[in-house]
Structure 1
Amino acid sequence: MARPSLREHLIDAASERFHEYGFNGSGIKDITDAAGAPKGSFYNHFDSKESMAVEVMSRYGETRELGMLADKSVAPMERIRRHFVFLSEDLEQYGYTRGCMFGNFGAELSTQSPTIRDEVGRRLGSWESLLASVLEEARAAGELASGVDAVVLARFLVSAWEGAAMQAKVVRGSAPLDDFFAVFDSMTA
């Protein structure tokens, strides 16, 4: 089994640092120290901290289990609910201290970095598109109680989730997520 490369160690360290301290609170030296690497090695693998953040978001996106939204063996509204339950369990695992990386970066960097803003927007947009598709399936199956356009509803769900994840981070508890699920469940026919 091959050992992880220094680049992988840097990405892992950056992911942890960005989640715990944010982008602006994580210097390159902090990241290289956490990875056990010399500071100069950073630039052998990344052009900038922004380019590293884009890679961290890519890796984070792979852990969000978006594929479960496509599992047609599960009813559409149940698929969506299971997806959000998975995300809530991830937040709980860290004591509600981390939030969502996309939401965190969007809130922290949207006015500072067009690169990060565009990447966050692209990722949230992809998530919204997947949700909209499943919501259309739910409507066709008679499972969706809301008459709101699926695209609008998908954007609302992503926005509501990101807000609930941020608020859970503030209160260090599940109450905002519980509220999200209460509203979500009211949409099921």
Structure 2
Amino acid sequence: MPTKKKPTAASRPERRTELLAVAAQVFAAQGYDATTVRGIADEAGMLAGSLYHHFDSKESMADEILSTFLTGLRATCGAVLDAGLGPRDTLEALVTASFRHIGRNRAAAAIYRTEGAHLAGRPGFPRLAGVRPVLEEALSRTLERGAADGSFRRDLDTRLACRLLRDAIWGTASWHEPGAGPGQDHGELARGYLTLLLDGLTPRV
């Protein structure tokens, strides 16, 4: 009976994860087209040839980074929608969970926000092709449900509100740094945004 081979250094899952994290930072900083396998390898402190022991191309690296990020976002939004909360609580939970997921994966979120659409149409990105706008769909469903049952204004332009919410959430990928303010984490960032969104800027009389 043949013995099972032990994982080699080149095949260890944790090393693969580390390299994907490095690649995500390089893609986010330089842009996909300007990034080379050699550049990723240099950043990882290895030879370009050694990187090919883990990945066959920079396309496969970017595809895995983005598809893993989107799978996590889909699960995050799905868990909120399945919780059976009212529209306002669902909206608050979606915003908070999305801020946190993007905060934990800032590089991947930045790549998807700026380049996801055109990369999805290129060869070499099979897992991105046909990906639905998961966050936008979740927000849209929640806003429409809230406008219908009176949780939100019945004259709410749900399409406009959805686009504004979506862009505000994705925008955190480009400007928020962990620890940017005293005690400010992604949950606090979400709470501050939700206060402005739901309670407005003007004081109550």
1:183 partnered with 2:192: no
Give the alignment of 1:34-73 within 5 angstroms: 38-42=50-54, 45-46=55-56, 48-64=57-73, 65-71=76-82, 73=84
Q: Which structure has the larger Rg?
A: 2
1:114 partnered with 2:114: no
Residue 145 of structure 1 deviates from its aligned partner by: 3.1
1:29 partnered with 2:41: yes
Q: Is the 8 A contact 1:128 1:158 kept in 2?
A: yes
Higher helix proportion:
1
Give the alignment of 1:155-174 within 5 angstroms: 155-169=163-177, 172-173=180-181, 174=184
Q: Any idea what SS the aligned residue of 1:57 has?
A: helix
Q: Is the 8 A contact 2:66 2:108 kept in 1?
A: yes
Give the corresponding residue for 2:21.
16
1:87 partnered with 2:94: no
Structure 2 gaps, min length 5: 1-5, 201-205
Q: For the residues of structure 2 that align with 1:7 and 1:85, how far apart are their CA atoms?
A: 34
Give the corresponding residue for 2:203.
none
Structure 1 gaps, min length 5: none
Summarize deviations over 1:89-145 as a string: whole Å, max 9, x none: 4566x6xxx6362334433x47xx931588889657332122101111111221113
Summarize deviations over 1:44-84 as a string: whole Å, max 9, x none: x44x3133212211111222201134225211221121122
Structure 1 residues 162, 171: CA separation in 2 closer, same or farther (over 3 Å shift)? farther
Q: Is the 8 A contact 2:26 2:40 kept in 1?
A: no
TM-score (normalizing by structure 2): 0.62
Residue 170 of structure 1 deviates from its aligned partner by: 9.2
Q: Percent identity, aligned pairs only? A: 16
Structure 1 residues 63, 76: CA separation in 2 closer, same or farther (over 3 Å shift)? same
**What letter matches 2:199 in structure 1?**
S
Q: Is the 8 A contact 2:99 2:169 kept in 1?
A: no
RMSD of the alignment, in Å?
Answer: 4.1
Give the alignment of 1:95-114 within 5 angstroms: 99=106, 101-107=108-114, 109=115, 114=118
1:76 to 65, 72, 87: 87
